Each structure stands twice: as structure tokens, then as C-alpha cells.
Structure 1
Amino acid sequence: MSNLKKLAGQTAIYGLSSILGRSINFLLIIVYTAYLSKNALGAFTGIYALIGFLNIIFTYGMETSFFRFATGKNLSPQRVYNNTQSLLVTSSLILGSGTFLLAPLLAEWMNYPGQEYLFRWVALILTFDAILAIPFAKLRLENKAVTFAIAKLTNITLNVGFNLILIIGFPIWIQNGVIPESFLGYRLDWGVEYILLANLLANGLIIPLVWWKAGFFSFKLEKSILQPMWRYSLPLLFMGLAGVTNELISRLLFEYVLPEGFYPGLDSRAAAGVFGANFKLAILMNLVIQAFKYAAEPFFFRESENKNSPQLYARVMHAFIIFCAFLMIAISVNLNWLGPLFLRSEGYAEGLYIVPVLLMGYLLLGVYFNLSIWFKITDKTQYSFWITLIGAIVSIAVVIFLVPVYGFMGAALSTLACYLVMSIVCFYFGQRFYPIPYQTGKDIFYLFIAFGLSYLGFYWNLENEILGFFLKNAVLIPFVALFFLLEKKEIQGYLSKKR
């Protein structure tokens, strides 16, 4: 129980930075939907999906490899850090330069004629992200959760500040004559450009702080260290590419797969903006998973030598599913007021019905992360590639075949389908090579009940809004009752230990 408490405590700190920080960042969707066009939101959705893909290539699995080798018995963590960070800085400069030079081709490929400058900024963003990855990982490894949280929040605060200045502040100041219209080359017709610029400035300014707090590195490229790390991380690179395909392919391909005129009054890029905005509403589940991942990954590796680790991993999975299932219901039943609160312009509510599906998809992503520990601690990372490749194939197939027929729901189902398939395959092989006594029957039951209650509450609408709010949230009561019924022995055991 002390180990679970430690994990919960660290998750809370990482969660504070992740949830608070990304919640602040999430509030930008109010700004974007209120001040930018749906086409600008569509561009934001597509370009940031591309950034997600390229970010995997720029870091190529070295973050997880760093955890694995820095926690080993044969090498000092600082030596591993020196080599890993040196390699990332070198490769990031090479890859960033290549992306910068290929910007005109990327602009043409993604249908942004004459806007190659967007992809030059993308190259810089990716380079900054990559050279920050290992210092942030080092803070996590050293259990410096508070320092990690402060650095992350600083970065997000800068990003939000620059967004507000560029998207809201400058137009108001120009309109009121405070600054001239061409001040610093400002253009009133830009939209996604200012989102990218804000990100670029925030990431660049945070580098000195993170490097200082993590500890500066000595430039070293030792073959004896980097070669085994590369062998370990190479399957993770392909796993990451397949994984990010699963997560982002629907947002990247949506505007190119959706038939023109599918949604009256919206072209394909504008419809992609509506889809991307509704996708953002599922971020609360993703925040919990991200916070859990920050704390759980180093925790799982540290506990891998414990003879009782399989039982511990099973308990972590069970607690994770119960908490996230409850969260999914709570969000889904309140979408009738959460949607209009964050999506400020007309037309965005048309996609709200896909959010429960996306929430379940993210929950299954968290389940997969729990399940994936078996191939990380047994050094069978090659399985990660095949599992995520299967998920990627499922995701792409669902997008291509269902989006032209079902629109928003087709894209949402791609997220759900791929993580469901990945979880099933990962569980099957994990139980063969590293058996963990998961409470499989109970866990699946919780997921089914939560999904059903989520849509029951979502579609249960009453004319009286106040009464409707309480009745919708009363859908949580059966789930809580089931929890106390099914976990009675566990709860009693925990309370007896507290006494």
C-alpha cells in the first residue's frame, strides 16, 4: 500500500502541473473558437497532428531508453544522461535543418500554398521540443516532481500569454490606436500563424530554465552506451510512430477524407476545425493518463525487481480503470453545458455526441499503457512495434472507410477501435511472457457499465435545466454503488489497516 501511496502522491503532483497547466492551455479553445475562423481551427488541427508525428521521429524512443539504462546497475545515471542528451541535441539540429529546408514541399503536400513559413516554424518547434525531452525525463527519474511541475507550468503560462497577446491583444490595441497596424509586421488576417509563434517563443524561452534545473550535460557520444540504447529504442521509435498514427491520424486525414459538402455550410477544413475542437473536450481524460504516465513509468521500472511487482501492477491497473471510468461518466453527462462553455461560436455543438467515444478511446490508451509494462521490463520492445502497427492499420482503415460515411463519428471510432485492438493484443502476449494477475472480468465490466451510463446521461435531456443537471449526474450513483459492492472486501481491508 505504501508503494501505491507513493505513486498516487507523485501522480497528484504531476497531475497538478499537467491538469492545471493543460487546463489553462485548454482554455485557449475558448479564444480560438471565439476569435479565429473554423478554417483556422482546421489548420491548427492538421498542422499540430503533423507536429505530433514528427516529434516521435525527433526523439525516437530515447526517453524510455534513458529510463531503462539510467536505472540499471552498470552505468551511472549522469553518464547515461550526458550521452543521451548529446545524441538528442545533435540529431535534433540535423533533423530540424532538414525539415526547415523541406518546408516548401510540406506546404504543397498539405495544401498550404505560399505558406512554407508555417513549416519552418514547425521545424524550430520540433527542435526545441526534442532537446527538452531528456532534461524533463531526468527530473522525473530523480523524483523532482515539484521542479518538473514548475517548469511545465512556466512553459504553458508563456504559451497562453503569447496566444492572448497575439490573438486578442494586438487587434484591440491596433483598433484603439495604441500601436500602428503594421507594428512588428503584425497581420490581422493571420490565425494559425499566431498559435505556432506563441508555441515557438514559449518553448525557446524555457530551455535555459529546464537545462539548469536538470543539470547541464557534458557532450559525450560513447558507442558502448549509445549502441545498446539505440537497439532498445529503435522498436520504440516504430511503436511511437504507429502509436501517434493511432492518436492523430483522424485529425490529420479528416479534411482530406471527408467528402466536400458532407456538412452543409462547412468546407472540409472548417469541418476539421469543428472535429478538432470537440476532440479537445476529451482532453480531461488524456490529462489524467498523461499525469499517470509521468509518475508510473519510472515507478514501474523501479519496482520491476520486486518479487511482488505483478500483483502491484494488477492493483494499479484496477484502480486506474475505476477512477477513469468514473471520470468518463462525469464528463459525458455534463457535456450539454461543458460544450457551449468552451466552444464559443455556433456550429461546434454539432460534434458533441462523439466525445464519450473519444473519452473511452483515451481510457483504453491508459489501459494499454498499463499493459505495456511487460515488454518494457523484459526488453521485448520489438513486440511494441507489431502491436502498435496493428493499431495503426486499424485506425487508418476506420478513418478511410467510416469518415466518408459517418463523418465525425467515423473519426472518433478510429480512436476507440485502435486502442481496443491494441489492448487486447498486448494483454494476450503479456500474459504469455510476463503473467500479471489482472482482475480482467471486473475491469471489463466497469468499462461496459461506464460506457453505457455515459451515453444514457448524455442523451437524457429535460426542459428544466436545473432538474436535468441533477438527474444527469445521478447517473453516477449506480456506478458508485457497484464500486462499493464489488470492492467491499478491498475497502474493508484498507480501512482495517488505517485503524
Structure 2
Amino acid sequence: MLNYLLVPLYTYQFSRPDDFGVITEFYAYIAFLNIVLIYGMETALFNFSVRRDDGRLVYSTALLSLWLTTALFLAISLWQSSALAELLGYRSNPQYVIWTAWILALDSIAALPFAALRQQQRAGRFALLKTINILVNVAANVFLIGICKWAYESGQQDGLLGWAATVYRPDIGIGYVFVANLIASALTLIMLLPDLWVRLRFDPALWHKMLAYALPLMLAGLAGMVNDMLGRILLKHLSPGENALEQLGVYGACYKMSVLMIIFIQAFRYAAEPFFFAYYKQQDSRILYAVVMNWFVIACSIILLAVMMNISWIQYFIGANYRSGIDVVPVLLLANLCLGVFFNFSIWYKLTQKTYFGAYLTFWGAGVTVLLNFLWVPWLGYMGSAWATLICYASMALLSALLGQHYYVIPYDYRRILGYPLLAVILILAVERISAYTQYTRLEDILIHNAVLLMFVFCIFIVEKFGAGRAFLRV
């Protein structure tokens, strides 16, 4: 949440949406390259550590592999930074490429120690280091953009503010976002040094097995990132008119308004994958997976309704010049809900060692994303990209559910999985229709909308507490 609170800082300090468009574009590239540089080794660590007695050998082998590939990537990126900057359309800012390469390298080296903490269920240290990373990032952003930029633009000359004004360089501008991220990533890696201090051993046979398991997951993750991020990159090239980077900035800022759903799903994924692997040998594991899915959908449905019932004031999360894209928020909330459902459904191919199905499913999603973006973005702009994301994730979740019931049957309650989000959407549409024909004060509007939210939560309580779910969802 602290990290996402930087969005108001960016959108209010940099009022031109094309400035935020730069960040949106580069962080889309970062998301893609993170998948490539880690190439599924996190999940491979989880899988092979529970199947072999020598977990340290598994960790060391994966660690050495990542170090070598990361060093190669960093060397090439720094060598060709000017050419890459020109290719991306940032000929005058090659430092963006250099800073991005260093961020990627540091985060890739840190990825496996963080995965080991998850695998060892050391949640306290994991949370502490992640929180410090976020706090340092936030503090660096607030200092460089919030304080130094303000001091420079207001002409401060005396004391600490005068010194802060001398720190700020207007030619860097939005590039301070990269600088702050780089500072946080470097400090995090320093704090992870004890976890990197291991007896280094490399087992070629084990490494080949890990790659065979991990590479399909990398392809699946890469295709999955196409589903999530490609729309943002294509917006720059497919948007109608000459304000493509501005549209990208508006879309990127409004995407952040689905912050609660994104944070919940991210936190769930951190915990769920090692949890699923740890319990797969238990006799009642499949029932447990179904229960987890049920409560996951409940939580996501509540978040969906909570955000939309309070969108009248949540919109001030971003600057005024970015609010024209507010209509994408409910679509993107639903899309992320479907992504979380897909993640739950897809545990079957990881547990059964059929990880190639992950690649098939996400390549399907990537095809849907590319096709619909090319069809809809020139016509609908960023709304086309948002709808393409929703249809992509929904179709992937459906296909994974159908395949999973053939290869690894889990007794999911599909009435609840479909019923709760559907009820939330119906309530959103009903409230919007009623609001269009009535006039309330801002306070009355907020109170009525949140009363609807409380009714929804109470309905869930009744269904889950008294076991009336099946009869209710039939209605």
C-alpha cells in the first residue's frame, strides 16, 4: 500500500500524463524482463526442495545459475544502452536504460533468497525486508520528487531546503523514480547478503532437471506478462491520435486504482504457492484447495464492491488530468479477480509436474491479448486494452478449470466461485443506475453505497455460516 501511495505523488507533481507514461512503459519492460531473468527458478526451488533431501544443493545450484545469467544480461545492457535507448524512442535519455538494467539485475539476484525465505516459511524476515525495501523506495521518492523538486521550483536558497534544491536536476525529472527504485533495490540486496552466504555447489544433472521444470513456467510467466503488460506497451503504438503517451499515462495511473485487488492477489500468491506444495501430500489437500479458492473469491468480491462503492472519493488518488480514464477501473478489478482465480485453478499442473500446460494456457491468453488489442485499441483506446485484459484472464481461468478437472480433480464449488462476483457486479450496475436518476449529497452517496457493501458482506456471512449457499446461489 505504501508503494502504491507514490502514485498521487507522481500524478500531482508531474501533471502531464505523458510523464507518467514513461514510467508506465519502462515498468512494463521491467515486468517482462523480471520473468526472463528468473526463468522459473523460484517455483523450481519450491518443487525440488520438497522432493530431495539436500535442499541446500538445490538452492546453491539455482543461485549460481541466476548469478551467471544476470551478470551476462547486465553486461550486454550496459554495453548497448545507447542503442537500446534509441530503439525505444529515448535517444536523449540513455540513463533510463542503464538504471533499469541495474534495477533488474539487483532484483533478480535477490529473487532466490526471497523465495528461500518463503519456502522455509520465514514470513517475519521476508516481510521485514520487503517492508524496508518499500519504505526506502517511498522515502527516496518523497525526498527527490516531493522535497527536492518543490524546493527547486519554489526557488529555495537557504538551509536544508536550499541544499535540497541543489540536489534536484530538472533534466532528470521523472527519471528520479528509477533512481529511488535503484537505491531501494541495492539496500535490499545488501540486507540479503547473509542469505547469499552459502556453500556454493553446482550439480549439472540437478540443474538440467530444474531447467526442464522451470523453463515452461518461464514461458508461461512471460506469456502471462504479455497478458498483463503488453496492452500498456501497445497503447503507445496503436492509440488513435497523436497523444499516445498521454493515453498510456492516464491508463497506467487509473490501473493503479485497482490497488487493493492487486495487493491482495500479490500477497496471496507469495503465500499460496509454497503452501500448496507443502500440503499436497495430505489426504484432505484437495478439499483444502477448494476451501482456499472459496475464501479467495469472497475476499476479491468484497474488494471489487468496496472500491466501486467508494470510487467517488478514491478517484482523488490520482491527479485531475488523469481521471478521464476512471471507467477502466471496474473492468481492471474484474480482470485481476479472474487472474487470481486462474492462479488458484492452475495449481494442478504444478503439482502433477505438467508445467507445460501453464505455457499452453498463457500462450492462449497472450494470443487473445494481442488479437483484441490490435482490434480494439485503435477504436476504443485504453478501454479496448482493459476489456482485452478481462477477456484474456477470464478465458484462461475457464480453460484451466476444465483441464484441471481432467488431470487433478479438486471439488471446487463453482456456484460460489461464479455467484459472489456476479452478485457484486449486479449491485454495482444497480447502484450506478439508481444514482443516475437521484440526487444525493456527497455524504449521503457515500453512506448509501457503503450500506450496500455491508449488505453484501452480511449476505456472505449468512451463506457461509448457515450453509445456505447452494440454495441461495441457485436463486
Query: Which TM-score band (shorter chain)?
Result: over 0.9
Q: CA deviation at 1:485?
A: 4.3
The Cα offsets for residues 62-95 of structure 1, whole Å up to 9 and x where unpaired, read as 01111111111x2322221111111111111111
Tell me what 1:497 maps to. Answer: none
Whole-angstrom distance in 2 between the partners of 1:491 and 1:463? 35
Answer yes or no: is 1:51 the counterpart of 2:30: yes
Between the aligned partners of 1:54 and 1:376, the Cα distance in structure 2 is 22
Partner of 2:343: 369
Query: Residue 469 in 1 paired to residue 449 in 2?
Result: no
Aligned ranges 1:83-122 → 2 under 5 Å: 83-122=61-100
Query: In 1, are the aligned partners of 2:157 and 2:165 still within 8 Å (CA)?
Result: no
Q: Distance in 2 between matches of 1:176 and 1:62?
A: 50
Equivalent position SS for 1:139: helix
Q: Distance in 1 between matches of 2:336 and 2:165?
A: 43
Aligned residues: 460
**Which residue, 178, 190, 203 being the options, matches 2:185?**
203
Alignment equivalent of 1:329, drawn from 271, 291, 305: 305
* Distance in 1 (alpha carbons) for counterparts of 2:18 and 2:383: 20
Task: Report how far residue 109 of structure 1 moved.
Answer: 2.6
1:294-345 C-alpha deviation (Å, 9 max, x unpaired): 11111100111112111111111011101110111001111110111x113x
Corresponding residue SS for 2:240 = coil
Kindly provide the amino acid, as one letter, of the partner of residue 8 in structure 2: I
Match of 1:343 among 318, 333, 340: 318
1:378 aligns with 2:352: yes
Q: How much has 1:160 moved relative to structure 2? A: 0.9
Structure 1 residues 480 and 171, CA gap change in structure 2 (3 angstroms)? closer
Contact 2:147/2:164 (8 A) holds in 1: no
CA distance in 1, matches of 2:222, 2:74: 18
Secondary structure, counterpart of 1:26 in structure 2: coil
Conservation of the 8 A alpha-carbon contact between 1:69 and 1:75: no
Q: In the alignment, is the contact (CA less than 8 A) between 2:236 and 2:248 conserved in 1?
A: yes
- Write the distance in 1 (CA, Å) between the matches of 2:6 and 2:256: 10
* Counterparts of residues 116-265 of structure 1 (less than 5 Å): 116-174=94-152, 175-178=155-158, 179=162, 183=166, 186-212=168-194, 214=195, 216-261=197-242
List per-residue Cα deviations over 1:219-249 (Å, max 9, x = no partner).
3221022110000001011001101111111
Distance between the aligned counterparts of 1:455 and 1:249, measured in 2? 29
Q: Is the 8 A contact 2:17 2:321 kept in 1?
A: no
Q: Is the 8 A contact 2:57 2:202 kept in 1?
A: no
Q: Of 460, 463, 467, which aligns to 1:483?
A: 460
CA distance in 1, matches of 2:303, 2:373: 27
AA aligned to 1:52 is A
* Conserved? CA contact 1:374–1:430, under 8 Å: yes
Q: For the residues of structure 1 that align with 2:273 and 2:204, how far apart are their CA atoms?
A: 26
Q: Aligned AA for 1:297?
A: E
Question: Whole-Å Cα distance in 1 between the matches of residues 104 and 430 of structure 2?
Answer: 42
| Pairing 1:418-457 to 2, within 5 Å after superposition | 418-457=392-431
- Contact kept? 1:332, 1:458, Cα under 8 Å: no
Deviations 1:367-426 (A, max 9, x none): 011111100010000000010000011111121111121222211112211110110111
- Post-superposition shift, 1:102? 2.9
The one-letter code of the counterpart of 1:231 is A
Partner-residue secondary structure (3-state), 1:112: coil
Deviation at 1:190, TM superposition (A): 2.7
Please name the residue that 1:10 is paired with: none
Bigger Cα displacement from structure 2, 74-83 vs 433-442: 74-83
**Is the 2:57–2:203 Cα contact (8 Å) retained in structure 1?**
no
User: Over the residues paired in the alignment, what is the CA RMSD in angstroms?
Assistant: 1.9
CA offset digits 1:106-162 (Å, max 9, x no partner): 322322122222111111111001000010011111111111111001111111111
When residues 40 and 488 of structure 1 are mapped into structure 2, their CA distance, relative to the original with a 3 A threshold, is same
Contact map agreement 2:149 2:165 (CA 8 A) in 1: no
**For 1:181 and 1:143, how far apart are their aligned partners in 2?**
42
| Distance in 2 between residues matched to 1:477 and 1:173, nearest whole Å | 45
SS where residue 256 of structure 1 aligns? helix
Question: Is residue 2:293 matched to residue 1:293?
Answer: no
2:473 aligns with none
1:347 alignment partner, SS class: helix
Task: Say whether the 8 Å CA contact 1:317–1:367 is kept in structure 2.
Answer: yes
TM score, norm. by length of structure 2: 0.93
Change (3 A) 1:182 1:316: closer
Q: Contact 2:297 / 2:417 at 8 angstroms: preserved in 1?
A: yes
Answer yes or no: is the 8 Å Cα contact 1:285–1:328 preserved in 2: yes
Residues 182/308 of structure 1: CA separation in 2 closer, same or farther (3 Å cut): closer
The alpha-carbon distance between structure 1 residues 101 and 455, as it changes in their structure 2 partners (threshold 3 A), is: farther
- Aligned 8 A contact 1:85 1:217 in 2: no
CA apart distance, 1:479: 2.5
Where structure 2 has 5 or more consecutive residues not aligned to the other structure, the ranges are 470-475
CA distance in 2, matches of 1:458, 1:140: 42
C-alpha displacement of 1:490: 4.5
**Which residue type is aligned with residue 479 of structure 1?**
F
Code of the aligned partner of 1:434 = Y
Pair 70,335 (structure 1): closer, same or farther in 2 beyond 3 Å: same
SS at match of 2:3: helix
Distance 1:104 1:147, change over 3 A: same
Could you tell me which amino acid in structure 1 is paired with residue 176 of structure 2?
Answer: Y
Identity %: 35
